[in-house]
Structure 1
Amino acid sequence: MDTTIKIDSKARDQLAALAQVRGTTMRALIEEFAATALTPQQLEERAERTRAFLSEEFGHRFSDEDSAALRSRMREEYSAHRAALRGTGDAA
């Protein structure tokens, strides 16, 4: 069943440009995003499976504080990486 999604023209133009560069349609681009993007619940389920695996296979248990610290470090590293790619030199 098809449906219509209303977005502003700036977002539409951005999606059209992305689709063109990727050699696909806006429909396929949005369908790909919907199929691959994870909801917060799916992310939490994945995190729980990962914690269980690490505990079972390696005997390591991550606390909520450990997880928060790792997320923070990953965000910092990602930001530094993006800054380096932009050549801004403000990598922290």
Structure 2
Amino acid sequence: MLHDQGPSKVPAPLSRWYGAFAPRARFEELRASVEALGHTIELDDPSGDIHRYRVPGSGTRVFVVADPDPYGYGDHDPDDPEEVQIGDIWSIDVAPAWWR
């Protein structure tokens, strides 16, 4: 995930189960995967430059980039694959009770 690509960001049980996570993930790909498993993913907080989504009943929150230039500097290049883009997953938080 973009916010923290260190090994501590993805809980160890998830890494063991799913393997290594890519440094960049798109929200629409995650949504499709979650829905294919029969679950829903709902917008929980649409305010600010990062939107928060939740997967009901899972203890999971997904934070997604909504504004890649929140301070209006104007130097964001939407065609540069190295830069944060709208729809990138910023981070995923899983309540500890769900992965212990």
Please give the range of the TM-score, normalised by the shorter of the 2 chains.
Answer: under 0.3
Query: Quick check: which has more Rg, 1 or 2?
Result: 1
Higher relative contact order, chain-length normalized (CA < 8 Å, sep 6+): 2
**Which structure is higher in helix share?**
1
